[in-house]
Structure 1
Amino acid sequence: MQDPVKAQLDLVEQQFNQVAAFLANGDALQLQTASQSLQSLGLELAKLLQTSSQYSPAAKAVLRRRVQSLAAGMQILRDNLSRRAAYTDQALAVVVPVAEKSTYSAGSSVYGSVARQTGAFKVLAA
């Protein structure tokens, strides 16, 4: 019988690889469900790692290296996701162009702006 921590770590690594594949393919719906599954598997792994203390120093070092490689891979996934989001934003700007900034004003927000005060009544006294 395999150790439950190692089995859970194997599941996390498999799910991680699946998330990476969905991100590379650009499949947003499957990426979302796979990411949620990866999160729940990661939480279960964290609970198992906190409760288990029967490992030798060599076994702990192996587990630590595997978890560190997952953490490094997670940073790569985060960077790839940011690139994918920037690419999507640029593609969306081509399809749905945004309004150009006005030459004579500081610009306005998407939902409008507050009317400018004239400055005539700076102090109100009763």
Structure 2
Amino acid sequence: MTHSHFDTQLDLIEQQFTELRSVVLAAHPQQVQAAASALQQLAVNLLQVADSKEGRAALQGRSRMQRIKSIANAIHPLREGLLRQSAYIDRALEVVMPSAQQQATYASGTPYGSALRQSGTFRVLSA
């Protein structure tokens, strides 16, 4: 079996995904961003290859589809790990800097259904 351009792209994606996973586990934010950007570019390249005649023929292979599915299934735990790290950093920031807590953009902090505040435009209503 020959190693096609599609297989080469899949190899590169798997290699970059492994690198991204190790960087996420090491918790290096700048490296995570660089590795994620590189993975995104490789995914775009794979889509371009898959859109060609050779790529459509390559997608008919069962082993290639299994490789793509395994990468897709591995993304979910990686995403959960990133969300967990983000929550951990947010909690640590709240401890160190309580004023860094994000205030509500539009809500006034009153519970739903409470009395509305008057805007000042119509202070007196007359009939």
- In the superposition, the TM-score normalised over structure 2's length comes to 0.75
Q: AA paired with 2:43?
A: G
Question: Aligned equivalents of 2:41 and 2:78: distance in 1?
Answer: 17
Any unmatched runs of 5+ in structure 1?
101-107
1:54-83 deviations in Å (ceiling 9; x for gaps)? 3484xx211111111111111111111110
CA contact (8 A) 2:13 2:42 kept: yes
Aligned-pair identity (%): 32
Q: Tell me the distance in 2 between the aligned counterparts of 1:99 and 1:11.
A: 40
1:91 corresponds in structure 2 to 92
Equivalent positions of 1:37-116 (< 5 A) are: 37-51=38-52, 52=54, 53-55=56-58, 57=60, 60-98=61-99, 109=104, 116=117
Q: Distance in 1 between matches of 2:69 and 2:123?
A: 63
Cα gap change, 1:42 to 1:122, in 2 (>3 Å): farther
- When residues 56 and 68 of structure 1 are mapped into structure 2, their CA distance, relative to the original with a 3 A threshold, is closer
Stretches of structure 2 that go unaligned for 5 or more consecutive residues are 109-116
Aligned residues, how many? 115
Q: For 1:54, what is the secondary structure of its paired residue?
A: helix
User: Aligned Cα RMSD in Å?
Assistant: 3.2
What TM-score, normalized by structure 1, do the two folds share?
0.76
